[in-house]
Amino acid sequence: MLWANITLYRSGGVGGDRTGTGHYPLLAMSFSLSRKQGFDTTGVGYETADLPVLLPGQSRVDPTVFDPRDWFGPDRRGLPFELEIGSGKGTFLVQQSVLQPGVNFLGIEYARAFCRYAADRVRRNAIANVKLLHAEAGFFVQCYIPDGIVERVHIYFPDPWPKARHHKRRLVQEPFLRMVHSRLVSRGCIRLATDHTDYFEWMCDHASRVSDLFVVEPFENTASAGEGELVGSNFERKYRREGRPFHAMVLRKIG
């Protein structure tokens, strides 16, 4: 039954410039960054060192002490809040945020150079509703996200850790899904997309283990995606040119 609401996408040609419709041209983008590049992340980028230190015996920070929504300022504090885990160079965040100015987006990226690049990109474009955090996502969600505040969690093309001995490092698995469930608002969701068939089968297996918490729904393309795209991230565009198949689904919180 789980597979009934899962979609397989075949890579085809890429769309062109859709400027004027809210979509963006497909631009070739380097996946490496020069060590000489300097980035200004002022007011946008945060580091793990900026987070409150957990006290002895404390597994989560008191939300009265720290709440990531405060990073957006008092005027935006009460707006819907979404997470992207694995933001890369920030393409999805930059494109989607301008279409949803009434939503706050926090991108979490483990690769510091990419995180700083994305934060500088957001700053240069003067986008007020996006912040970036350089941190390990599982640790941050577990320890620093209050319960019941996240509308959507976007996880697009996460590291598949293909070797069997590394599967334990995969982000999407039962304990993580159960943890995220408590952070979501009522009827909130986790949006998943990958080009790795084995990882997607793994995701489906672990989704079936949390069927008491989530229902599986079809994946709808993001508003910022170009023609024929799922989300329009750098990785998707790279993999689409390589002709890889894509898999995607949505896990919707029950209740």
Residues involved in catalysis? 159
Nearest alpha carbon to residue 144 among 51, 49, 27: 51
* Helix/strand/coil for 4: helix
What are the residues facing 153 on neighbouring strands?
83, 190
Nearest alpha carbon to residue 119 among 101, 131, 136, 104: 131
Nearest alpha carbon to residue 222 among 126, 82, 122: 82
Residue 34 CA to residue 105 CA, distance in Å, equals 27
Alpha-helical runs (H) found in 30-169? 91-99, 112-124, 137-144
Residue 35 CA to residue 172 CA, distance in Å, equals 31
Query: Six-digit token pair at 29?
Result: 């983008």
Phi/psi of residue 152, nearest 5 degrees = -145, 145
DSSP annotation of 157: S
CA-based torsion, 215, 220, 225, 229: positive or negative: positive
How far is CA 2 from each of CA 117, 125, 174, 204, 207, rounded to the nearest angstrom?
Answer: 38, 41, 15, 7, 8
Tokens 């698995």 found at: 173
Residue 5 CA to residue 189 CA, distance in Å, equals 14
